[in-house]
Every structure is written in structure tokens, then in C-alpha cells.
Amino acid sequence: MSTFHTTRRVEFRDTDAAGIMHFSAFFTKMEEAEHELLRSIGQSVYSRSKDGRLISWPRVAAECRYRGPAHFEDILDIAVHLERMGTSSVTFAFTFHRGDDLIAEGRITTVCCRLVEGSKPEPIPIPPEIREQLQRYLVVA
């Protein structure tokens, strides 16, 4: 099992009048890291399974715990792994560090859905070729 790593700088728009990165900005950065992980395995938010179905991953839950403040221009290391992969759902776990300091820990749960024009997204089993690629980031208990 390996962990996916990326970095993001705290941009000025990420900050608020308390002088620190706004708590909501951690969620967009988690999503950016998740999408970067997906691209690294040849997937995207919207992609096609081998059998031609249009796939997407709507979120069902998101959470974050804040351990310390991040400031403008800080560089944050974001580590991502899969905490759980069910039949259709995936839980990504994220940690944000600035150097050795833990800044935040978060989690996003998404469900693999088939998109059909004009219908609601329909949960489907994660296609085997995607499951195989995600496997490398899955924690082995």
C-alpha cells in the first residue's frame, strides 16, 4: 500500500479575517488532491469504464478536524490514501502537514455512479479496472 502525496500553497483567497486559512478551504484542497490521485491512475471525475459507461463519484460525506492554523503562503503537504473501498463507495483519508506540524485531517466518501443523461446518478459496483488501480492506495488492515 502506498500513499499519494501532493502539495498546495495557502493562497491569499484561502485566508479569512482571522488571518488563517478558512476551514472550508481544506475541503476544496482535499478534492483537488483526490482529483490529482484519480488523474495519476488515468481516471477523472468523469471517466468511462472499459465497457463504455460514463462514471462519476458524487460525495456522500465529508469531514475535517483542525489541528493547527495554516497561514498565507504556507506550503501544505497533503497525503491521501483509501481508508475503505466497498462495492460502490470509496473513503479517501487526507492529512495536511506543514513540515512536521499536523494541520488537519479529513475524509471524503464518494460513491461510484453511472451517469445517464436526464436521470439521477445510479450507484454501480466500482468497475474492476478502476478498483484494481485504486487498490494500491488502500490501507491494509
Q: Which residue from 35, 13, 12, 25 is spatially nearest to 64, judged by alpha carbons?
A: 25
Query: Taking CB under 8 A as the rule, does residue 35 contact a copy of itself?
Result: yes
Query: Taking CB under 8 A as the rule, does residue 65 contact a copy of itself?
Result: yes
Query: Taking CB under 8 A as the rule, does residue 48 contact a copy of itself?
Result: no
Q: Cell triple for residue 125?
A: 459496483
What is the separation of C-alpha 74 from the centre of its chain, rounded to a whole number of angstroms?
A: 20
Torsion on CA atoms 77, 58, 56, 10, rounded to nearest 10: -20
Only one of the segments 51-59, 77-85, 87-95, 132-140 lies at the binding site for a copy of itself (rule: CB under 8 A); that segment is 51-59
Minimum distance, C-beta of residue 66 to a copy of itself, in the bound complex (Å): 6
Let me know the angle formed at the C-alpha of 29 by 72 and 131, rounded to the nearest 5 degrees.
155
Binder of a copy of itself out of 1, 5, 63, 129 (CB under 8 A): 63
How far apart (Å, rounded) are the C-alpha atoms in residues 84 and 91?
5
Binder of a copy of itself out of 2, 18, 119, 141 (CB under 8 A): 18
| Stretch 110-129: interaction string toward a copy of itself, x if CB under 8 A | --------------------
Q: Which residue from 127, 110, 120, 129 is spatially nearest to 53, judged by alpha carbons?
A: 127
Query: Taking CB under 8 A as the rule, does residue 40 contact a copy of itself?
Result: no
Binding residues (CB under 8 A) for a copy of itself: these are: 11-13, 15-20, 22-24, 27-28, 31-32, 35, 39, 44-45, 56, 58-66, 69, 71-73
